[in-house]
Structure 1
Amino acid sequence: DIVLGEMKSTVFSAVVVSIGYALLGWDFAALLEANGHMEKEFELENLPSIEGITIAVSAFGAIVITIFSGSLLDWLGRRAVLVQSSLLLLSGGLLMLWSPNIYILLLARLIVGSGSGLVFTCVPIYISEISPSTMRGLLVTMPQFMFFIGTIFSYCLIFWLTLMPSPKWRIMIGAIFAPSIVYLALLVYYLPESPRWLVSDGKISEARVSLQWLRGKKHDISGEISTIVEGVDFISDTAIGTAQAQSFSRISSSQIWPNNTFYWHLSDPLVDLLGSIHETMSEATGSRRNSFFPVFNSFSFPEHEHMNEHRDDNSDQQTRGVYYAGEANNGDGLRTSLLSQTANVEVNDTNTSFTSEGSSSYLRRHGTSAFAQEFVASFIDNDIEEEDEETHGMALPYQPAYRYMENTRRHPCRYRILRLSETADMKSKWRVLLQPGIRHALCYGMLIQALQQSAGISVLLRYTPEILEQVGVVSLFSDIGLSPHSTSILISALNALLLLPCITAAMLLMDVCGRRALILATTPILMLSLSVMSLSTLVDMGSLERAILFHLALTICFCSYVVGLGPIPNILCSEMFPTKARATCVSFCSLSFWFGGLLSAYCFPVMLSTIGLGGACGIYALVCCIPLCLVYYRIPETRTLNLELIAEVFKLSRQLPYVQ
């Protein structure tokens, strides 16, 4: 297990990029309050609502930039796009501070919306790619925590400004430029590039440096960098035959999972699958090879025994060779290293005779990193020239043609790893999206992001001050000497502050209980609280009782949301796609998020004027049933799985018993 203290650089990098979500939270809370003051200053009371205009312009900017964000992330890299997002937020904040007329203001909102779109798409991708599998859920939940940090600071500023005779609305929304400067400085001077993007771009030596810095100087990254290299080109391209999948689907579920227990519904069936498939098939066929996951065939042991015969008897460590990658696609003919790694790997366990029954226990004991080391080791022979540890990242000279052809014939899979960049260029990005596992995952990701916004909780969060005034919660605090509006702002800030312990609990539980368990446990509570809110406004009761009941149900609603349906869709979308398609797929998921949010923002005022607040809450409770069913029947558990294996899992999502 990876100790949190050993990952200080990884954790701090996640905190740095999550500041972008704090800026989103700041703008989220400040915009609605500033809209009323804009109407008065620009004399727009008789024109269409300025609130609808500003929201539409911001959403338009986010949608347009999100369309191109996938290509930008693959072309420029994660770090460069994050820097661009900070520049957009900074320039937009300065324009909003100035904004002499409505046109400059709308231009500023367009720029801020574009920066928000980049932040929303890129931050979860970056954090998921730098995080170890045992901490990925915790760190990808960090942006949600920072979002409410920004919301609290924004409410505090708004509360202070509302105490003045003439609140300065430009400061409310334009003050975002100050934290944007800090965000930009940290991104430029501190943040490393994503190792997985560097590998996908053919910069293996730079990826090793970045990963070593993230994990710490004492951490052995040889297994992890091997897994990343495989995942970019080899593992994600591994085909699972239709006949094999059908034969697997005929296996009774009782042979794989204890599906009569409650644990089977909420726990991690795919991790159980990865561990039990060897035992199941070996008992049925007596085979020593895994026919469903070809990458698992690295546990074949004739090769291991053959390699061990050529090893030095007095050596207990194996030096990884340095691979030559051919010419980089940079036009200057430079020779780059595609797999430059010289690391000492312990072979105490690799000398053990493996069987198909023993491979699952090895995987559970050592994790997927050790599994990847064994897989890469099966391709390495003693004919490859070895280098010293001091030559990290250096490329080998050209090998003679006959030597290269001999090595390719001996290890045909090595050619696929060496020609990684060419393979990535040959395959169209859009064809990759049509692969079965990626196609299914993309559909589920877009659907769950749209449903998250359609559930209406984000709208309730945005309109919390107005809702509290309408229901009568503000009247409970009339004795404190504040105006009703200032009181509603103060209560909203306290509500946001109360959510921080809930988000902290979600961060700690995300890698313990898993994504499925949390969302399946909290969504029914969310539906129940929305139903209570609806009934409290429809049933005839005293104003005091209604205010107390509604506020209590609203608080429970927000708390259950930030533990389950709030952060988990972002986590799932950032981890269930392979590296070569992750940016494009997440951009599609972000598009569905923005469209769903725009639809919800425009429908909520209409529902308030027609069916009232109670009817709107009732509809939101019904909508929450859809993501609950989607997760229960179609979304597998991704906890503890490496990013390079999750995409393979979705290839079987239609054949597994628990999703039928």
Structure 2
Amino acid sequence: MRGAVFAALAATMGNLLQGWDNATIAGALIYIKREFNLETQPTLEGLIVAMSLIGATVITTFSGPVSDSVGRRPMLIVSSLLYCLGGVVMLWSPNVYVLLLGRLLDGFGVGLAVTLVPVYISETSPPEIRGQLNTLPQFTGSGGMFLSYCMVFGMSLMDAPSWRFMLGVLSIPSLLYFVLTVFYLPESPRWLVSKGKMNEAKKVLQKLRGREDVTGELALLIEGLGTGVDTSIEEYVMGPANDEEATTDKDQIKLYGAEHGQSWIAKPVTGQSTLGMVSRYGSMANQGSMANMMDPLVTLFGSVHEKLPQTGSMRSAIFPNFGSMFNTAADDNGRDENWEVESRGEDTSSDVGHDDSDDNLRSPLLSPHASGVAPPSNGSMLMQSGELVNSTGIGGGWQLAYKKAQDGTGELKRVYLHQEVGMGSMRGSMRGSMRGSVVSLPPSDLLDGQLIQAAGLVSQSTLNIKDFKGESPFEDGNVQPSAAATKGQSWRELLEPGVKRALIVGMGMQILQQFSGINGVLYYTPQILSQAGVDVLLSRLGIGSDSASLLISGLTTLLMLPSIGLAMRLMDISGRRFLLLNTLPVLIGSLIVLVLSNVIEMGTVLHATLSTISVVVYFCCFVMGFGPIPNILCSEIFPTRVRGICIAICSLTFWFGDIIVTYSLPGLLSSIGLAGVFGIYAIVCTISWFFVYMKVPETKGMPLEVISEFFNVGARQAEAEKDM
């Protein structure tokens, strides 16, 4: 775990340099305008700022496909070199055109860092802390801004401040970034797996996780190379099976994990697609309401995280016998009735159910003894005190399992299983109804709480095993992907329903984030605060207007850091969606106050105070939600095979929006003033709230491969319903 944290810290040095550059140009622009007489040339002024964004946009066009080809680490090394070269050119800058060249090179470095650092962190981090680590870029970026504002403020107090030195200092920390990327940054294990470099991937995983046995996670990374075209959702009631015991019932299957030990027997139940039931319930129960417009994917993802009351809730309405898709608790009477149906031999299998045999490999799926921990007497077999009790877990309460196809080919199917803590009410009813059930587990052999309910995402395995006959797919320790899984990405994969749906979410979040105005405000914060009259607050201290606005900007970024720290704490607890839905209203409120303070006539001091407080609140809430989360989501929701291409598309959306906002802001300020500008931002933030509510799912704690499968299954089901 320490290895993953250190790798994330090293990678986010690129974001620190981005924040440094953003703040430096905001302060240096005051002096650049005076030297080159740009007061009457707002177009050229905007171009100096936007040139970095143009460079970032150009490099982003190639960054995704190239990083998929050569790796994430080499591209981050190139980013550090471009930062350094850009700083040197800006330090020299004899005229405005050389300055534009330096800004362009600097933009190349920014584009690579902003695009690839979130991808790198997501691909190297455990699911349980992925959100926290992916918030680090926002923290280091704001930290870089604060350090830069301190430097620029100090230089502004000099008799002859040098904007060239302000911009050229960037080359010094970029050298540290270069050293970290070259000597301390391992390659992404997911990229290594995609290229078939299994030995290297295993060594990197062992270093990142701090343990020797990474077979289960390595298998997960291989399975992530699949497209999930044939993925379906199944529900099981599961219990332990003796190794000597043969499974005779056609409805029973055996599931096995990556390690030797106890095998499990599973009974498929509830013969309807879970996603279809969730989607239909949402549309039927919310006719005429805003919730009726919610994407079925949002509801499906929410069923993993939300804990709703059992009686009269969505959960019990969707799954009357089992509660939620991923819950183990159920009504006692309903459970007894369900087991009676099964004991009569009725067909209750799910979509895929019967084409799989129980004659399977022998390796544990959910062994309570794998780590020497006794099974809990009043909790889940998968969890104890909130922690996984064996290493077959792939994060977030999910487990990777396999079963053997029945068609005689010997091919494997993989199953992503999930079960929640809280067997409580289910345990007693199940123990009372065990006798005579089709699971055929001797009651005397059952430990308290060993019968569980789980749901699985089932698809063809991408392991290179054509005719399995042994006891475990990992028996010889040689885990390899199939040739088809490593053939490389195709642009046609972007047309798959799940990828298209993910692109809508990713691109929508990026464009809305930019048109909420944050980067434009940051670039021009000193000038905006100066127009708001903030210099009045510091005039009594003898600080000039330019220095005063820089000081306020520095203090504003300093106040951001605790807010980002709080967001890091909540990102994997409350979740991305929760933070967005609760911070956007605060953004809207602060923007409305800014509009009113600039429309209503009031005293200079009161106007400056309200403007400053509103800007600070805006920034602090932005960095808790709308700042880091779009990049986090974009790094999570795309399949491994096309992640680089999709990230490049979303990043292009980001940079095009950034260019438009930044380049147009000087003209907007001169034409409609601060009130008009912030009024536009308030409208965009309102639209953003509705977009998040209806389209953005919750991904906290879920393995990247599982997130991709959810998008695949949900998007195909939604398209099928539209055709009906």
TM-score range, shorter chain: 0.7 to 0.9
Matched residue type, 2:303? P
**C-alpha displacement of 1:276:** 3.2
Partner of 1:329: none
Residue 635 of structure 1 deviates from its aligned partner by 1.0
What's 2:196 paired with?
Answer: 202
Q: For residues 350 and 629 of structure 1, do their structure 2 counterparts lie closer, same or farther at Cα, with a shift above 3 Å needed?
A: farther
Displacement of 1:345 in angstroms is 9.7
- Distance in 2, Cα, partners of 1:256 & 1:420: 44
Number of residue pairs matched by the alignment: 580
**Residue in 1 that maps onto 2:685:** 624
Q: Matches of residues 257-656 of structure 1 in structure 2 within 5 Å?
A: 268-271=302-305, 276-277=324-325, 290-291=350-351, 302-303=358-359, 307-308=361-362, 346=370, 368-369=393-394, 374-376=400-402, 406-407=467-468, 420-425=482-487, 428-653=489-714
Secondary structure, in 3 states, of the residue corresponding to 2:574? Answer: coil
Cα distance, 1:217 vs structure 2: 3.3
Give the Cα separation in 2 of the matches to 1:452 and 1:435: 26
Distance 1:374 1:16 in 2: 30
- Which of residues 154, 157, 165 in structure 1 aligns to 2:151? 157
Cα separation, 2, equivalents of 1:75 and 1:481: 57
The letter of the residue matching 2:358 is P
Q: What root-mean-square deviation, in Å, do the aligned CA atoms of Structure 1 and Structure 2 show?
A: 4.2
| 1:453 counterpart letter in structure 2 | Q
Alpha carbons 2:54, 2:659 under 8 Å: kept: no
Asked if 2 retains the 8 angstrom alpha-carbon contact of 1:34 and 1:173, the reply is yes
Q: 1:260 to 1:203 in 2, by over 3 A?
A: same
C-alpha separation in 1, matches of 2:215 and 2:179: 31
Q: Shift in Å at residue 525 of structure 1?
A: 0.6
Distance 1:90 1:377 in 2: 52
Shift of residue 246, structure 1, vs aligned partner: 7.8
The amino acid of 2:223's aligned partner reads: E
Aligned partners of 1:19 and 1:146 also within 8 Å: yes
Counterpart for residue 209 of structure 2: 215
Q: Using the alignment, how far apart are the partners of 1:518 and 1:656 within structure 2?
A: 27
The corresponding residue for 1:81 is 75
Deviation, 1:42, is 4.5
| Structure showing the higher strand proportion among its residues | 2
CA distance in 2, matches of 1:53, 1:565: 26
Q: CA deviation at 1:134?
A: 0.6
Give the secondary-structure state (helix, strand or coil) at the position aligned to 1:191: coil
Instruction: Specify the alignment match of 2:437 in structure 1.
Output: none
For residue 370 of structure 2, what is the amino acid of its counterpart?
A: E
Shift in CA distance, 373/441, structure 1 to aligned 2, threshold 3 Å: closer
The CA deviation string for residues 85-144 of structure 1, in whole angstroms up to 9 with x for no partner, is 111111111111112233322221111111111111000000011111110110000000
How far apart are residue 278 of structure 1 and its match? 6.8
User: Match of 1:422, as an amino acid?
Assistant: A
Structure 1 letter corresponding to 2:603 = G
**Residues 364, 10 of structure 1: alpha-carbon distance in 2 compared, 3 angstrom cutoff:** closer
Query: Cα deviation per residue 1:41-67 (whole Å; 9 max; x = unaligned)?
Result: 446666564322223322221111111
Note the C-alpha offset of 1:221. 2.2
SS of 1:134's equivalent in the other structure is helix
| Greater helix share, structure number | 1
Equivalent AA in structure 1 for residue 214 of structure 2: I
1:20-59 mapped onto 2 (5 Å cutoff): 20-42=14-36, 49-59=43-53
Q: Determine the C-alpha separation between the residues in 2 that align with 1:434 and 1:266.
A: 22
The answer to whether the 8 A contact 2:520-2:662 is kept is: yes
Q: 1:373 to 1:618 in 2, by over 3 A?
A: closer
For 2:69, the aligned partner's letter is W
1:14 maps to which of 8, 17, 21: 8
Could you tell me whether the CA contact under 8 Å between 1:270 and 1:636 is conserved in 2? no
Deviates more, 1:51-60 or 1:148-157: 51-60
Helix, strand or coil at the partner of 1:233? coil
Match of residue 4 from structure 1: none
| SS in structure 1 of the partner of residue 100 of structure 2 | helix
1:226 aligned onto 2:251: no
Q: Output the CA distance in 2 between the equivalents of 1:461 and 1:478.
A: 23
- Partner in structure 2 of residue 140 of structure 1: 134
- How far the C-alpha of 1:233 sits from its partner, in A, is 2.3
Residue from 252, 258, 281 that aligns with 1:252: 281
Q: Which amino acid aligns with 1:643?
A: L
Residues 240/265 of structure 1: CA separation in 2 closer, same or farther (3 Å cut):
closer
Q: Distance in 1 between matches of 2:633 and 2:215?
A: 27
Aligned-residue offset at 1:351: 12
Q: Which moved more, 1:34-43 or 1:504-513?
A: 34-43
Q: Could you list the per-position Cα deviations for residues 211-243 of structure 1 after superposition, in whole angstroms to 9, with x for gaps in the alignment?
A: 11011136x422222211111226x444459x9
Separation in 2, partners of 1:412, 1:434: 32
> Do 1:39 and 1:50's aligned partners in 2 also have CA atoms closer than 8 Å?
no
Q: Would the aligned equivalents of 2:577 and 2:697 in 1 still touch at CA under 8 Å? A: yes
Percent identity over the alignment? 40
For the residue of structure 1 that corresponds to 2:139, the secondary structure is: helix
* Cα shift readout 1:381-436 (whole Å, capped 9, x = no counterpart): xx99xxxxxxxxxxxxxxxxxx986549999999xx9553434427x521111111
> TM-score normalised to the size of structure 2?
0.72
Tell me how far apart the structure 2 counterparts of residues 244 and 453 of structure 1 sit (CA, whole Å). Answer: 38
How far apart in 2 are the matches of 1:536 and 1:168? 35
Q: Which residue of 1 aligns with 2:415?
A: none
The question of 1:173 aligning with 2:174 is answered no
Q: CA deviation at 1:299?
A: 13
Whichever residue aligns with residue 598 of structure 1, its letter is: I
SS at match of 2:158: coil
> Displacement, 1:184?
0.2
Give the Cα–Cα distance (whole angstroms) in 2 for the partners of residues 287 and 154 of structure 1: 68
Counterpart residue number, 2:435: none
> Retained in 1: the 8 A contact 2:26–2:526?
no
Identify if the C-alpha distance between structure 1 residues 45 and 374 changes in structure 2 by more than 3 Å, giving closer, same or farther: closer
Instruction: Letter of the 2:487 partner, please give it.
Output: D
Q: Residue deviations 1:7-57, cap 9 Å, x none? A: 222111111111101100111011133234334444666656432222332
- Partners of 1:23 and 1:176 lie apart in 2 by 7
Q: d(CA) in 1 for partners of 2:636 and 2:114?
A: 15
Matches within 5 A, 1:109-148: 109-148=103-142
Going from structure 1 to structure 2, the CA distance change for 1:644 and 1:250 (only over 3 Å counts) comes to: closer
User: Structure 1 pair 271/226, CA: closer, same or farther in 2 (3 Å)?
Assistant: farther
Question: Against the structure 1 CA distance between its residues 490 and 364, is the aligned structure 2 distance closer, same or farther, given a 3 Å change threshold?
Answer: closer
Q: Which residue of 2 aligns with 1:333?
A: none
Query: How has the CA–CA distance of structure 1 residues 509 and 404 changed in structure 2, closer, same or farther, with 3 Å as cutoff?
Result: closer
Q: Which amino acid is the alignment partner of residue 629 of structure 2?
A: I
* SS across alignment from 1:369: strand
After TM superposition, the structure 1 stretch with the greater mean CA deviation from structure 2, 34-43 or 364-373, is 364-373
State the distance in 1 between where 2:184 and 2:627 align: 29
